[in-house]
Structure 1
């Protein structure tokens, strides 16, 4: 149990910090509502699942040995995050009492969330670090990696859901056009800043 708690805490700290994906989740639910943003959340979580499998298969090692591939993924992921930030920033203001934005608004989708995470080399590196430092005991290597991956994924579901709900709490402010514009652009700018910082860490 102590090993599980340690792993869960480390995972929450790594995945729950305000990076591009958590900020995108909060901004999307604030702009479009929690329920319309569940597809985007699902895409992000599926992308994380791929990152978990990729980390156990040694993807992080491949990225370390081929820096040009890492840079290409980082830049492509950054462009996707910028695209998602654009969708959030350009979302229309709500009418008072409406449950969601305009049906024609460019809303981040499942595919956006999925691609955002599978193109994120830092996700593979984070899971490789977790597996190397906090691998849970199990019935053989496969059991250890499987149990560790499950715990990491469950923590990711919890953390990302909390970010989505946090954005939903800001939903009422989006009925005020000035507040809505400031929050949307603030989230979008924060996402772009996070991308810029991650590029300096390559």
Structure 2
């Protein structure tokens, strides 16, 4: 095992997977609306979806999908529609509520989190880039991508729980309704922009 490359890969994973995007914007929004405990279902669904997406990338299946124009078109349309729905849900989310809301909005459910994880274009781009970088185990390609997949999962589990908690902290900060609405619009815009980029 190449320890230096393992460290560089881990750092790259933290930067790519921990940078703002649709998943992180959604985690902050869910944390604000549902509180920490209430947001764990969405968080768990998101982690499963992202782990699945990472597995697809590690197995090289995403590269295969990219060679099928119809499959890529369908995937892009579905991803775009869901991201736009998620953006709308965040922008129109109620403000001035206490954490732990009993809202049943689909975007904040475990299934909603899973769908975001498996349809998020930013994630696939990050995973494909990571899997092709910094060989950790030079003598065994299968072991190399397996270790990389495990590192990505660990990074996502740790980083995303922190973003969920940030949403809770923001809610506890006692922001005005106007400030909360502006924050919702900002996060929704980030997701909508990602949906637009997916179409390019």
| Fold agreement, TM-score > 0.5 | yes
> Displacement, 1:176?
2.9
> Residues 190 and 148 of structure 1: is their aligned pair in 2 closer, same or farther, counting only changes over 3 Å?
closer
What is the CA deviation profile of residues 24-52 of structure 1, one whole-angstrom value per residue up to 9, with x for unaligned ones?
11122123222211111111111111112
Aligned to 2:162: 162
Equivalent residue for 1:179?
Answer: 179
Distance 1:45 1:104 in 2: 21
Normalised TM-score (structure 2) = 0.85
Counterpart check, 1:25 vs 2:30? no
Q: Distance in 1 between matches of 2:57 and 2:92?
A: 35
Of 9, 12, 16 in structure 1, the residue corresponding to residue 11 of structure 2 is: 9
SS at match of 1:85: helix
2 CA distance for matches of 1:145 and 1:177? 46
CA contact (8 A) 1:70 1:121 kept: no
Tell me, which stretches of 5 or more residues in structure 1 are unaligned? none
SS state at 1:133 partner: coil
Distance 2:160 2:192 in 1: 19
* Aligned-residue offset at 1:120: 3.1
The number of aligned residues is 197
The worse-fitting range, judged by mean Cα deviation, of 133-142 and 60-69 is 133-142
Unaligned runs of 5+ in 2: none
Hey, what's the Cα distance between the residues in 1 that align with 2:24 and 2:31?
A: 11
For the structure 1 residues 14 and 40, does the alpha-carbon distance in structure 2 shift closer, same or farther, using more than 3 Å as the test? same
Q: Partner of 2:153 in structure 1?
A: 153
CA-CA distance at 1:77 after TM superposition: 1.4
Q: Structure 2 CA distance, aligned partners of 1:8 and 1:55? A: 17
What are the superposed Cα offsets for residues 104-155 of structure 1, whole Å, 9 maximum, x if unpaired? 4526111111111212344334323212212321773332222121111111
Aligned equivalent of 2:79: 77
- Provide the residue aligned with 1:59 in structure 2: 61
Give the TM-score normalised by the residue count of structure 1: 0.85
Separation in structure 2 between the aligned mates of residue 144 and residue 105 of structure 1, nearest angstrom = 41
Q: Is residue 188 of structure 2 the alignment partner of residue 188 of structure 1?
A: yes
Aligned-residue CA RMSD in angstroms?
Answer: 2.3
1:7 offset after TM fit, Å? 0.6
**Compared CA separation, residues 62 and 90, structure 1 to 2 (3 A):** same
Give SS of 2:132's match: helix
